[in-house]
Amino acid sequence: MNDPAENSLQDNGRYAFFVGCTVAYKLPHIEAACRYVMDTLALHPVDLPFSCCPDPNGVHSYSAELWATLAARNLALAEEQVLDIVTVCNGCYSTLKYCRALLKNDADLRKRVNQRLKTVGRHFIGNNRVLHFYQLLYEHVGYDRLQQLVVNPLTDLKIAVHYGCHCLRPKQMGPPENPENPQWLWQFVERVLGAETVHYLDETQCCGAGLREMNREISLDLTRRKIQQMEEMGANAILVPCPSCYQQFDTGQRLLLRSDNKEINGIAVFYQAELLAIAMGANPESIGIQFHLIKPDLNLLQTEKTPPTARSLSQG
């Protein structure tokens, strides 16, 4: 893990907050949880007029040139303010980080893109960093500090983690650990949340979101497969660092549960910051837990908080 003293983000605590289309205009309760966590950590998100990242699947498949151009504008916007970017979505993270590397390494592409940006008065250099919200927690704040801020350990949860493809692969994206055997989310579950981790076979497999619009059947078959494995291992919650995966598990499970051949019972899914906020003492209603389609069992989230001291005494 990085030494927090070494990074500028810890020094000034300000960064460009890249909310992204899915969270801003589909799942704003995820944004509420992220802002609650940042507020608790005394970090300051700066809102800028970003567009869609754009989508690393649909828009990239349509035109790589367009994909890199709009990503460069978003990167330039943060750079104008001398800010690093924090994204809350695997897709936005993948697009911005990947395009930043492409643009820095390919002088011809950079030249073409900057010619276009010039017509709208912008310029890409690429001196700022792109961070994922999970990285902010894992590499910059650190689990030890997070653990100290937990007043409501989630000891009743048996959590299956799902990383999501775009924060693991391709390997040049530089995930903090081997993409075939990542550790950082289940360690978060155990060390920070105080919950139990439930490991399952396809932990690093795709959730199916990438084919949601293109081929609903394949997309939901992948979701069902993962849910079945999590249920077999006794999970009562899923933790994801990506709103697109969240949407796939939440909306996707509802579709599966309403189908004739459902083959699953349903497990509530949470974005990483939602469980952290609740563990830090947030009222689940105030961060929009009621907007989940697969309704979580609020008793498992220990909404009637026991003071940590009394809890440790009773456990001791």
Partner 1 sequence: METNAYKKIKQLLNVCYQCGTCVSTCAAGLVNPGKNIRKLIQNLVNSEKEFKPKENDLIWLCTTCYQCEDRCPEGIPLTTLLIQLKNMAVEEGIIPTSIRKEIETLTVHSFTYPPAKSIVSRRRRLALPELPRPDNSEIQTLIKLARSSDEATNSEESKT
Based on the shown chain and the rule CB under 8 A, indicate whether residue 268 belongs to the binding site for partner 1. no
Among 7, 8, 205, 228, binds partner 1 (CB under 8 A): 205
Among 209, 230, 237, 239, binds partner 1 (CB under 8 A): 209
| Distinct helix (H) and strand (E) counts, the chain | 14, 8
What's the distance, Cα to Cα, between the start and end of the chain in Å? 31
Instruction: For the segment 102-141, give every residue that binds partner 1 (CB under 8 A).
Output: 112, 116-117, 119-120
* Cβ-based nearer residue to partner 1, 187 or 205: 205
SS3 160: strand
- Which among 251, 209, 212, 226 has a CA at the least distance from the CA of 27? 251
Which of the ranges 1-9, 152-160, 221-229, 306-314 carries the binding residues for partner 1, by CB under 8 A?
A: 221-229
Based on the shown chain and the rule CB under 8 A, indicate whether residue 264 belongs to the binding site for partner 1. no
Based on the shown chain and the rule CB under 8 A, indicate whether residue 21 belongs to the binding site for partner 1. yes
Which of the ranges 16-24, 152-160, 192-200, 275-283 carries the binding residues for partner 1, by CB under 8 A?
A: 16-24
Among 9, 16, 19, 78, binds partner 1 (CB under 8 A): 19
Based on the shown chain and the rule CB under 8 A, indicate whether residue 201 belongs to the binding site for partner 1. no
Work out how close the CB of 59 gets to partner 1 at its nearest, in angstroms, rounded to a whole number: 7
- Which among 99, 96, 54, 23 has a CA at the least distance from the CA of 272? 23
- Which among 311, 219, 273 has a CA at the least distance from the CA of 33? 273
In the DSSP assignment, the letter for residue 249 is: H
How many of the other CB atoms lie within 10 Å of CB of 166? Answer: 27
Amino acid at 85: I
- Which among 121, 99, 96, 98 has a CA at the least distance from the CA of 20? 96
d(CA 92, CA 65): 17
Interface contacts to partner 1, rule CB under 8 A: 19, 21-22, 24-26, 28-29, 31-32, 35, 47-52, 54-66, 69-70, 73, 112, 116-117, 119-120, 165-166, 168-171, 179, 205-206, 208-211, 213-215, 217-219, 221-222, 225, 287-288, 291
